[in-house]
Homo-oligomer: A and B are copies of this chain.
Amino acid sequence: MPVAAAAWLDLDPGHPFSLAALPYCSFSTRQHAAFHRVGVRVGDRVLDLTTAAERLLPGRSALFRDGLLDPFLAEGHGAWADVRAEITAWLSQERFREAVEDLLVPVAGAELRLPFTVADFVDFYASREHVTTLSSILRPDADPLPPSWLHQPVGYHGRAGSVVPSGTAIRRPCGQVRGPGGAPEFGPTTRLDFEAEVGFVVGVETVLAEPVAVSRFAEHVFGVCLVNDWSARDIQAFESAPLGPFGGKSFGTTVSPWILPLAALEHARVRPPSRDTELAEYLTESEDWGLDIRLEVRINKQLASRPPYSAVHWSPAQLLAHLTASGAALRTGDLYASGTVSGPGPGERGSLMELSLNGAEPVALADGSARAWLADGDEVSITATAPGPDGTRISLGEARGQILPAIVETVR
């Protein structure tokens, strides 16, 4: 039974940021630019949770004092549930109006930043459709799946320091690529791409040699965000043997500013796609952690793709179990992402490389233009919704970025 918002909030129960969502952010306002606060989205406003907790939840207010989610993430599942219940009470009961109404600011006036300190960033390769489409393009005669792919999630460590919040402009990167004659050339990428992904934010840390069982996923992972893992395909192609992607993926990774807690995704849980391979015990799930998150990718506001996260082969609980299976520790603020989300349909692919078949068939946009790869000035927006209560859909917000032209200069 969904909780109705208090009358004074004037919030439609079908609003994508209804009380069923309540994602967290870090924000400041123009009037108080230096005062970074933890916020909670409700409708088209942001609740100043840092101040609200001082008034109404003094025992936990230290968790929100520095304006980042880090201490709250570290606190664990009990705190996550309690604080969500408190916020829900404040926003649904008339008696809290006086205490919180002046703490709601219009979202348009909130300056959003990265809501947590990114510790390690891991990106997976969990969508079978993504992998098989890439293989059919790049290695049409080879096995469409890498040797270990059906047996374990394949992933790599990305650059945590390059994670930026939605709205940050992305400079077209330079790098070495294989030139027409085969010799390498240094210059701006000519094959700039997006990758639409779902990211998972770790709250509770572990120590080395303490694997996290699939059944303990929700004890460690706080919530989800949207991720655009910008990729320079030509730089990546030249550099990747044998250690994987590096500079072609480390020039910027955009995340949505809203972290939606797992608690808001109870209605979104689905069984992952059927798997045809017997799995090692540490990857065998007893709960369904597939998620019916529907992504939409827009280029310059025109719909380019609708990738369905529910089609992704490896669940986020399996990704975490595999990430820690060999003994890697978790730190608060670790971010791991699904890798490109692609569905079986042609309009469900999560990257231009797949949509344009490696540039061979440029994607037609509604304005009459077409894209094989991203052009300078292009703005890419990834949004998503998930099922909420009573047939509503809740929003995961937006991960957006605009491409700036390369800077080509001598850097000696």
Taking Cβ atoms with an 8 Å cutoff, the residues of A that contact B are: 119-120, 125, 146-148, 151-152, 154-162, 164, 168, 170-171, 173-176, 178, 184, 186, 208-209, 211-215, 232, 235, 238-248, 250-252, 280-282, 284, 286, 321-323, 325-331, 334, 404, 407, 410-412
Contact = CB atoms under 8 A, between A and B. Distances in A.
Given A148-B241, A162-B328, 5 more contacts: A147-B178, A148-B239, A171-B208, A247-B328, A282-B411
A340 to B, nearest CB: 12
A211 to B, nearest CB: 5
A156 B122 CA distance: 12
Given A325-B175, A328-B251, A410 B162 contact: no
Contacts of A238: 147-148
A125 B328 contact: no
A152 to B, nearest CB: 5
A176 B157 contact: no
Nearest to A156: B243
A208 B159 CA distance: 12
Q: Please name the 8 residue pairs, one residue from A and one from B, whose CB atoms are nearest each other, closest first.
A: A244-B244, A251-B327, A171-B209, A247-B326, A173-B326, A157-B157, A156-B243, A250-B328
Q: Is the interface of A mostly helix, strand, loop or mixed?
A: loop
A232 B326 contact: yes
Contacts of A410: 281
Give the interface centre of A125, A161, A326, A404 by most chain B CB atoms within 10 Å. A326
Copies in the complex: 2
A198 to B, nearest CB: 18
Contacts of A232: 326
Nearest to A178: B147
A162 B207 CA distance: 9
A246 B157 CA distance: 7
A148 B176 contact: yes
Contacts of A173: 209, 326-327
5 contacts: A146-B241, A152-B184, A173-B326, A186-B282, A282-B411
A334 B161 contact: yes
A191 to B, nearest CB: 13
A156 B154 contact: no
Contact of A250 (B147, B157, B160, B174): B157
A171 B146 CA distance: 28
A328 B214 contact: no
Given A148-B184, A175-B325, A208 B252 contact: yes
Given A156-B157, A321-B411, A330-B161, A243 B125 contact: yes
A119 B121 CA distance: 11
Contacts of A243: 125, 154-156, 244-245
A329 B412 contact: no
Contacts of A208: 162, 164, 168, 170-171, 251-252
Contact of A151 (B148, B160, B176): B176
Nearest to A151: B184
Contacts of A412: 213-215, 281-282, 284, 286
B159 A411 contact: no
B239 A154 contact: yes
A232 B232 CA distance: 30
Contacts of A186: 280-282
Contacts of A250: 157, 323, 326-328
A152 B171 contact: no
A253 B174 CA distance: 31
A263 to B, nearest CB: 23
Contacts of A162: 208, 327-329
Most B C-beta atoms less than 10 A away, residue of A173, A213, A235: A173
Contact of A120 (B159, B327, B329, B330): B159
